[in-house]
Amino acid sequence: MSIAIYPGTFDPLTRGHLYVIRRASVIFDKVVVGLLNNSAKNPLFSVEERMNMIKEVTSDIPNVEIIPFNGLLMQFAIEQKANVILRGIRTGGEFEFELMNAHANKKIAPEVDTLFFPCDINYSCVSSSMVRDVAAYGGEIRDFVPDSIAKKLYRKLKEKGLNKV
């Protein structure tokens, strides 16, 4: 059975992330979205909120599972019996950085490979922090995130008093 892990903070998940998940679900028997409980990033949404948002927008893809994790990615990959780590690539600069990480991860777990996935050209400028920023200024974000996530993001920013308009 081929198992791929697509790791990230997903604060929130974007249409760029969703594209990678959908394409990967056609290639692998199972795609595990590894939701990092990332203390370094101080996420806007809790792990549970991020997990529910991803579940909702991937509910039509049967071979996708969302599993939170802490600590080392490769430890998580071994626990999940994954063959592959998937990393979306938006730019050449990102590739250089990701290649270094892939080499480090290969040293930690030689039996797990990293595959780079070119992102959808329509979303090469999208990141979670860019979407949060545009939303905080009241900008239109539905081209960048699924509608259900856009609604939750506007609401969360309002609740937390993080609106900039």
Q: Tokens standing for 113?
A: 């490979």
Instruction: Verify whether residue 103 is a known catalytic residue.
Output: no
Stretch in the footprint of ligand COA (CB under 6 A) among 45-53, 56-64, 123-131, 156-164: 123-131
Stretch in the footprint of ligand COA (CB under 6 A) among 3-11, 51-59, 135-143, 148-156: 3-11
Reference 149, options 133, 132, 163, 164; nearest CA is 132
Instruction: Verify whether residue 128 is a known catalytic residue.
Output: yes
Q: Does 58 bind ligand COA (CB under 6 A)?
A: no
Q: Does 135 bind ligand COA (CB under 6 A)?
A: no
* C-alpha distances in Å from residue 34, one per residue of 31, 37, 163: 9, 9, 29
Peptide bond before residue 12 is cis, with ω within 30 degrees of 0: yes
Q: Does 72 bind ligand COA (CB under 6 A)?
A: yes
Active site positions, annotated: 17, 41, 90, 128
